[in-house]
Amino acid sequence: MNPDLLTVALGERSYDIFFGREIYPRFQEWICRFYPGGTVHVVTDRNVAAIYGEDIHKWLAGIPHDVLALPPGEEHKSFDTVREIYGFLARGDAGRDSLVVAFGGGVVGDLAGFAAATYLRGISCIQVPTTLLSQVDSSVGGKTGFNLPEGKNLVGAFHQPRAVFIDDAFLLTLDDRNLRSGMAEVVKCALAGDAELWDRLLASGGRWKAFSGEEWRWVVRRAVAFKASVVERDEREASLRRILNLGHTIGHAMEKSDGYGRFLHGEAVAIGLAWEAVLGRKLGVTGEELVDRLVSLLIGMGFSLDDPGVALTSIASAIGMDKKRVLSDVVLPIIAAPGRCEFRRVPLAEIRQELPFLRAEIRERAAACVRHPPVESAVRDASQASNVVMAGDEAYEIRPIEENHSPAAAPETEPAIERVSGPPPAPSSVRESEPPPAPSAPAFRTVTLADLYWSQGQHSTARRIVGEILREDPGNLRAQAWLAARAG
């Protein structure tokens, strides 16, 4: 395997992804070879142009080209901006033999790619992603599009690039926030289809910002290779490619709920990964320990997993415009184990009803991570992988939620999470007269976990958990109310 080259095999639409440091000579060679006489039109944004203006001209030295710098940010991922690109191409006399170069982050890539897909019914485009998020996600796979006020990426087209050039030198200029945003998509890839990448992330913990150049190249290539393998099997998202939407149902709703200006895409995806993992636990798919590890990892990376300024009603409304809807249901990829997911068709009304519970549990877990920072090593439980698919396999499954499941209405007070289906998160070997085995790191104890034990009839264990919570936090009102309600 050539560490500097990866081919996305799509028949006549196949293309190469080039990796390396300062790879602009290969870029120039590629253009001169495949587009010796066509016009070249570079689309970027003003932030990228301010930082990389000289680099753009260095990459295109000796190649006639023009440059359009768009206003930056997700809030400008709109049809008005696409029209601006159309005008730029028309003024530049772009023809069927022309080439669009998307030089920037994910927004630039999506907009330039869509304009290329639709101008003159389709002209060629290549991607030069300059952010971690665009390198590991949006530059590969051919998804292009823009947002509407009603929802994210509601208008789009599949238009595979002719090539992708991933230069890790661009990562050196990213601030922590943008670098962290990209790490959310790396975590998604690890959970969806690369258990080895997941182990590496857990082992690295909060030191990801100090990765060496070699470590960054390994991480980026692993994430890109996983996505490419999925795209090769399902180019147009008819089935398996939906695995790449992990964390994006709630993530996209978070982005849309505040007009696209509040979160970076990766920040919203991190929230979506955590909330949807808790939903997966409630559906009996995601194990308690895996939810714990995911939340701990994201918190350790510096993500905030909730924003009290975003109302649940706004999130619920935005989910209603999700592209993955099938009638009144949403097809969700749910984590079953690191590197393995299961598809579930979940009623939209059920997801909306669960939102208060998901927010409450995430807040509890985040608070617990602050009190007890994780120190354990990565251990995967293969037993969580039953009835699931691997991203590298051809087979996959979409199963509806059991018809007899009726989610409880959200109470007015802080809700307790109720197990929906599947095996209980608590180990089956735990008996009423014995406490759970002591873990190697501080145990995760919440009122939610106490409720789960209580629902299994293990009342003394549940009371013990709440008692330990109150010993650590005597003012915990929810624990006090729980104990008072079961005083008899």
Residue among 188, 200, 241, 293 flagged as catalytic: 241
Percentage, residues of the chain above pLDDT 70: 82
Residue among 74, 245, 281, 342 flagged as catalytic: 245
What whole-number distance in Å separates Cα of residue 111 and Cα of residue 274?
28
Mean pLDDT, residues 339-347: 92
Give the per-residue pLDDT at 419: 30
What whole-number distance in Å separates Cα of residue 34 and Cα of residue 38?
9
What whole-number distance in Å separates Cα of residue 267 and Cα of residue 352?
21
252 given a catalytic annotation: yes
Q: Are 406 and 354 in contact (CB under 8 A)?
A: no
- Nearest one of 252, 243, 167, 180 to 396, comparing CA atoms: 243
Q: Cα separations (Å) of 203 from 82, 185, 287, 375, 432?
A: 42, 18, 20, 10, 35
Q: Quick one: tokens of 221?
A: 């290539």
- Nearest one of 140, 144, 70 to 114, comparing CA atoms: 144
Helix (H, G, I), strand (E, B) or coil at 66: strand
Rg (CA), the chain: 24
| Confidence tier at 48 by pLDDT (50, 70, 90) | very high
Q: Are 42 and 101 in contact (CB under 8 A)?
A: yes
Residue among 121, 214, 404, 471 flagged as catalytic: 121
241 given a catalytic annotation: yes
Residue among 77, 152, 217, 227 flagged as catalytic: 227
What whole-number distance in Å separates Cα of residue 363 and Cα of residue 359?
6
What whole-number distance in Å separates Cα of residue 326 and Cα of residue 400?
11
41 given a catalytic annotation: no
Give the per-residue pLDDT at 400: 39
Give the per-residue pLDDT at 206: 77
What whole-number distance in Å separates Cα of residue 263 and Cα of residue 245?
18
Give the per-residue pLDDT at 383: 34
Residue among 237, 255, 276, 350 flagged as catalytic: 237
Residue 63 or 469, more confident: 63
Residue 234 or 163, more confident: 163
Task: Return the HEC string of 339-365.
Answer: CEEEEEEEEHHHHHHHHHHHHHHHHHH
Q: Please state, rounded to an integer, the average pLDDT across all residues of the chain.
A: 83
| Confidence tier at 445 by pLDDT (50, 70, 90) | low
**N-term to C-term CA, the chain:** 66
Q: Which residues pair with 16 in a beta bridge?
A: 7, 163
Looking at residue 136, the DSSP 8-state letter turns out to be I
- For the cut 70, the answer to whether the pLDDT of residue 377 exceeds it is no
* Topology alike, domains 5-173 and 175-402: no
75 given a catalytic annotation: no
Residue among 217, 265, 293, 359 flagged as catalytic: 265
CATH class of the region 175-402: mainly alpha
Query: How do residues 15-26 score in pLDDT, each as one tens digit?
Result: 999 999 999 999
Mean pLDDT, residues 365-379: 62
Q: Which long-range contacts (CB under 8 A, 24 or more apart) does 9-12 make?
A: 9/232, 10/160, 10/231, 10/232, 10/235
Q: Are 397 and 258 in contact (CB under 8 A)?
A: no
| Confidence tier at 371 by pLDDT (50, 70, 90) | low
Residue among 152, 159, 248, 344 flagged as catalytic: 248
| Confidence tier at 452 by pLDDT (50, 70, 90) | low
- For the cut 60, the answer to whether the pLDDT of residue 297 exceeds it is yes
Q: Are 43 and 16 in contact (CB under 8 A)?
A: no
- Nearest one of 58, 9, 10, 21 to 220, comparing CA atoms: 21
354 given a catalytic annotation: no
What whole-number distance in Å separates Cα of residue 208 and Cα of residue 179?
10
The rounded Cα 415 to chain-centroid distance in angstroms is 26
Residue among 65, 152, 200, 252 flagged as catalytic: 252
Looking at residue 138, the DSSP 8-state letter turns out to be I
CATH class of the region 5-173: alpha beta
- For the cut 90, the answer to whether the pLDDT of residue 457 exceeds it is no
Q: Quick one: tokens of 410?
A: 């959200």
The torsion angles phi and psi of 386, rounded to 5 degrees, stand at -70, 145
Q: Are 8 and 14 in contact (CB under 8 A)?
A: yes
Q: Are 63 and 40 in contact (CB under 8 A)?
A: yes
Q: Which long-range contacts (CB under 8 A, 24 or more apart) does 471-476 make?
A: 472/371
Query: How do residues 244-254 score in pLDDT, each as one tens digit?
Result: 999 999 999 99
Query: How do residues 159-205 score in pLDDT, each as one tens digit?
Result: 999 999 999 999 988 999 999 999 999 999 999 999 999 999 999 87
Mean pLDDT, residues 79-101: 97
Residue among 143, 200, 217, 359 flagged as catalytic: 143
Burial annotation 197-215 (CB, 10 A radius, 16+ → b, else e): bbbbbbebeeebeeeeeee
Give the per-residue pLDDT at 236: 86
- For the cut 60, the answer to whether the pLDDT of residue 313 exceeds it is yes
143 given a catalytic annotation: yes
Give the amino acid at 163.
A
Q: How many CB atoms lie within 10 A of CB 57?
A: 13
Q: Quick one: tokens of 108?
A: 């630039």
Looking at residue 394, the DSSP 8-state letter turns out to be S
What whole-number distance in Å separates Cα of residue 123 and Cα of residue 318?
33
What whole-number distance in Å separates Cα of residue 115 and Cα of residue 144?
9
Element spanning 329, H or E? strand 329-337
Helix (H, G, I), strand (E, B) or coil at 61: coil
- Give the domain ranges of the chain: 5-173, 175-402, 428-488
Residue among 185, 255, 342, 350 flagged as catalytic: 185
Q: What is the DSSP code string of 117-135?
A: HHGGG--EEEEEE-SHHII
323 given a catalytic annotation: no
Q: Which residues contact 151 (CB under 8 A, 6 or more apart)?
A: 252, 256, 318, 321, 322, 323
Mean pLDDT, residues 271-290: 96
209 given a catalytic annotation: no
Q: How many CB atoms lie within 10 A of CB 418?
A: 14
- For the cut 50, the answer to whether the pLDDT of residue 402 exceeds it is no
207 given a catalytic annotation: no
